[in-house]
Chain A
Amino acid sequence: MDTEARLSLFRNMILCCHELYLWTYDSNFHLISSNCPEQTTIDSLFVMSHRREEFDRQILSGHTPIIFTNEMGLMWVMVPCFEADEFIRLYVLGPFFVDDIPPKSIEAQLNKHSLSISLRQEFLRFLRRLPIISLNRIFEYAVMLHFCVTQEKITVSDLRYSESRKQTAGAHSQSELADAHGTYKDEQEMLRMVREGDLNYQTHLDKMSVTGNLGKLSNGDAMRQMKNTVLVCVTLFSRAAIEGGLAPEVSYTLTDHYFQSVEACSTISDLVDIAHTMQADFIQRVHRCRTSHLSPPVQDCCEYISLHLEDKLTLSQLAQQAGYTEYYLSKKFKRETGLTPSEYIRKERLARAALLLRTSQDDVQDISDRLQFCSQSYFADHFRKLYGVSPTEYRRLRSE
């Protein structure tokens, strides 16, 4: 079956369930064809939502589908088609909302404008014709459309996200209509993966059909809805991680960190990234706890150290965390790890420094200061002892 045949079948099958239309654009974003009865109007809505340079950058930065949200919360799935790395076509599915928050928000905004009854009613009729489809279903359609175009199987985690510059209160959320909630079974499965430190969590997640809905966690503000969803996940995951063996203090510290990161987010893309990072973080830490040969108090110390590498760390603090005297902790730590606590802390700080040298453009002096080294020369000496080269040389070698 060729691409056009697959797309035709896909288009017709989608229409069995929703008034959701397929659009084909050329590489200059001129419309080639669509099965939408209001082609001109909806095409205008799609095109005017994008800035061309930004659009090009998004499309060309990867080969996987993009889920795009415009300023009014209206969304599309965009699947680029490449031939020998040349962008030739863009297939678009949409438009749609993922819950009733954006259309209700638009209606509320409309009520503040003094528009004639006829114009208002005509616009509301148009708005109500736009389908509301759950985000989980949209993820599945995006994966299917990508397969139709490329014959390549991807997973939900391969999807990319993009939105117009300004997000109004009508932005999309991950909830569906308020009277339906998520399946308990899926929640329990996700918490199990955290509790067991299951490193194959991504494979399990991709196989799960994440059905159901998250409920109404906010009144009318879709970004707040998304944030509250992620915050709930952080809380649930942190408790599951404690049940899996992660020290409560470590888990609570992580929770604080992710709460602050979520609150500081201003875009859906960043929020999705934080959610993925948070999940991986909890699972990997629980995995380390469960597979470590270290005793729980020493393991807890190591986790505490990893979370506070940029803070002043003293043996007194660690002993207090572990509930031991400084003398006993120091002996136990050395026996189990082969290093004294201060040697371990220095080793971890040097490893963090190496990571920063590889992945950031931070000044060597800044890295040294941040990681609490008493001087740059002290930092550089110990770095060279461990890695064989100076910090500057390490960065240079890694960037080649």
Chain B
Amino acid sequence: MRLNPNVNVPAFLEAVRSCRGEVSFVTSEGDILNLKSALSQFVFTAVVAGKLTELEGHITVQNSGDEELLYPYCMRES
């Protein structure tokens, strides 16, 4: 799933916190940020969130049931 470039970061991370399983953001360079971790959230917010248009990162979820919680923050796949 790809994040909406204009995502409301705090709301998105709040949704991540309510997910049952792990949620990761994977950048095109292979960086994996576990968004349940405070440090990764910090890195994501400080550096990644402002560049979602350029980055070809995507979200992966450990628990498929969590996808529904994150759909509102993702781009619709064509």
Contact = CB atoms under 8 A, between A and B. Distances in A.
Are A and B genuine complex partners? yes
A40 to B, nearest CB: 7
Interface stretch (A11-19, A111-119, A192-200, A321-329): A111-119
Judged by DSSP, the binding face of A is helix
> Which of A44, A118, A119 has its CB near the most chain B CB atoms (within 10 A)?
A44
Judged by DSSP, the binding face of B is helix
Contacts of A123: 43, 46-47
Interface string A107-130: 001100111101100110011000
Interface string B19-50: 00000000101111000001111110111111
B14 interface: yes
A45 B31 contact: no
B13 interface: yes
Contact of B42 (A45, A47, A122, A166): A45
A108 to B, nearest CB: 10
A72 B38 contact: yes
B45 A115 contact: no
B39 A48 contact: no
Contact of B10 (A48, A109, A115): A48
A110 B43 CA distance: 9
Which of under 10, 10 to 19, 20 to 34, or 35 or more describes the interface residues of A? 20 to 34
Interface residues of B, number: 21
Contact of A41 (B29, B32, B40, B46): B46
A71 interface: yes
B53 to A, nearest CB: 13
Contacts of A119: 27, 29, 31, 43, 47-48
B19 to A, nearest CB: 15
B49 A166 contact: no
Q: Which 4 A-B pairs have the closest CB atoms?
A: A48-B10, A44-B9, A47-B10, A71-B38
Interface of A: 40-41, 44-45, 47-48, 71-72, 106, 109-110, 113-116, 118-119, 122-123, 126-127, 166, 168
21 contacts: A40-B50, A41-B49, A41-B50, A44-B49, A48-B13, A71-B38, A72-B38, A72-B42, A106-B39, A109-B39, A110-B39, A113-B40, A115-B31, A115-B43, A116-B29, A116-B31, A119-B31, A119-B43, A119-B48, A123-B46, A126-B47
Interface of B: 9-10, 13-14, 27, 29-32, 38-43, 45-50
Given A41-B45, A72-B42, 12 more contacts: A45-B46, A48-B9, A48-B10, A48-B13, A106-B39, A106-B42, A116-B29, A119-B29, A119-B48, A123-B43, A126-B47, A127-B46
